[in-house]
Structure 1
Amino acid sequence: MRGLLMRLGYVLALPAVLVAVWWVASDDSTDVYWPPLRTILETFPDVWTGERLRADVLPSVLRLAGGYTLAAVAGIALGTVIGSHRRVRAVCEPVLEFLRAVPPPVLVPVIMLFAGIGDTMKVVVIAAGCVWPVLLNTVEGVRAVDPVMTETARSYGITGLARLRDLVLPSASPQIFAGLRQALSIGIILMVISEMFAASNGLGFTIVQFQRGFAIPGMWTGILVLGLLGFVLSVLFQLVERRVLGWYHGLRASTRRSR
């Protein structure tokens, strides 16, 4: 219990300090575009009612979940194939480097031509940006599988799906999760950007509408909601990561203790 309280204190310490600094620094502000934090917090419950949460936050989360899941599945599947075969990697690497260098927001107008302006476009934009960290980290994770373990598995006749399930993916999973973590932050950014184009709901759409209507405190409340959403998703991701990679974190802890 004590350890949990200490961990919670570490997590909340810096945000509490930043909020306090923001409160003090903006308390006597008369700038229209930089309202006091007190005013923003007073506006928050009036703006983000249950109806607005259902109308704007829920659609954004669903789009993010759809694009992120699509990117995770495609990135892990393709990365496993590319990382496992040297010739495939040699053929695909130049194309991957070219596509990776194209910023996903630039593709929004192109994707709109093929996918329209509905939710499909937004999901595709999110997936197009999230897939690269997952794909590249999966490739490197698969390439880094211990050759001794690979030869041992081959000598015991462990091949095909059994080798993939019991050796390759577990060995590459720490690096795969590193890519998934990077993809999550990219997905949140692209979720907002995609909702600024021809949208009728969502967090990005709402923040832009507040800005265009000069409802500046309302705009800041939208930014706060976006930050809170990112924080919650990060905590949930860490819980899943610790659950799936419990063996890995235990191994690292035991290695540190042995030193």
Structure 2
Amino acid sequence: MRRLLLRTVFVLALPVLLLLAWWFASDGSTDVYWPPLRTILKTFPDVWTADRLRTDVFPSVLRLAAGYALAAAVGVGLGTLIGSSRRVRAVCEPVLEFLRAVPPPVLVPVIMLFAGIGDTMKIVVIASGCVWPVLLNTVEGVRAVDSVMLETARSYGITGVTRLRHLVLRSASPQIFAGLRQALSIGIILMVISEMFAASDGIGFTVVQFQRSFAIPDMWTGILVLGLLGFLLSVVFQLVERRVLGWYHGLRASTRRTP
């Protein structure tokens, strides 16, 4: 209990300090583009009502979840295939490096031509940016699997799906989750960018509408919503990661305790 309390204090300490600094720094502001934090917080409940959460936040989260899941599936699948075969890696690596260097926001107009302006376009945009950290980390994780363990599994007749599931993916899972963590932050950014193009709902669309109508405090509340969403998704991701990689964290902890 004490450990959980200390961890909670450490997690919340910096955000609280930053909010306090923002509060006092903006307290006497008369700049229309830099309203006091107390004004933003006072506006928040009036803007983000239950109806707006349903019509704007919920669709954004669904698009993010769909694009992120698609990127995870494609990234882990292709990454495992490329990382397992030296020949496939030699053929694909130049193309992957070329595609990885293209910023996903630049692809938005191109994707709109093929996928239209609906939810499909937004999901594809999110997936196109999230897939790269997952793919590249999976490739490196699969390549780093201990060759002795691979030979041992082969000698015991452990092959096919069993070998892939219990050895290859399990050994590569720490790096896969590192890629998934990077992809999550990229996904939130691309979610907002995709909703700024020909959208009729979503957090990004709402923030732009506030900015265009010069509702500056309302716009700042949208930025706060994005920050809170990112924080909540990060907490959920950490909980999932600790559960899935419990064996890995336990192994590292026992290694540190070993003299």
| TM-score, normalised with respect to structure 2 | 1.00
Superposed counterparts of 1:180-191, under 5 Å? 180-191=180-191
Displacement, 1:230?
0.1
Instruction: Kindly report which structure 2 residues correspond to 1:170-249, keeping only aligned pairs within 5 A, or say none.
Output: 170-249=170-249
1:253 matched residue in structure 2: 253
Cα distance per residue 1:19-56 (max 9 Å; x no partner): 00000000000000000000000000000000000000
Using the TM superposition, give the Cα deviation of residue 166 of structure 1 relative to its aligned residue in structure 2, in angstroms: 1.1
CA distance in 2, matches of 1:244, 1:154: 25
* Correspondences of 1:66-77 after superposition (within 5 Å): 66-77=66-77
Partner of 1:14: 14
Size of the aligned set, in residue pairs, is 259
1:38-187 matches, within 5 Å, as 38-187=38-187
2: distance between equivalents of 1:53 and 1:165?
39
Sequence identity of aligned pairs in percent? 84
Distance in 2 (alpha carbons) for counterparts of 1:191 and 1:86: 35
User: What one-letter code is carried by the residue in structure 2 that aligns with 1:138?
Assistant: T
Q: 2: distance between equivalents of 1:146 and 1:122?
A: 39
Residue identity in the other structure for 2:39: T
Q: Distance in 1 between matches of 2:210 and 2:99?
A: 35
How far, CA to CA, are the matches of 1:115 and 1:155 in structure 2?
Answer: 48
Match of 1:143, as an amino acid? R
Deviations 1:110-145 (A, max 9, x none): 000000000000000000000000000000000000
CA–CA separation in structure 2 for the residues paired with 1:166 and 1:5:
35
Q: Secondary structure at the match of 2:184?
A: helix
Deviation at 1:204, TM superposition (A): 0.3
Gaps of 5+ in 1: none
Q: Which amino acid aligns with 1:70?
A: L
Query: CA RMSD, aligned part only?
Result: 0.4
Question: Whole-Å Cα distance in 1 between the matches of residues 200 and 84 of structure 2?
Answer: 44
Per the alignment, in what secondary structure is the counterpart of residue 31 of structure 2? coil
Give the superposition deviation at 1:258. Answer: 1.0
Structure 1: distance between partners of 2:14 and 2:20? 10
Opposite residue 211 of structure 1, the aligned amino acid is Q
Letter paired with 1:222: G
Letter in 2 for 1:123: I
Gaps of 5+ in 2: none
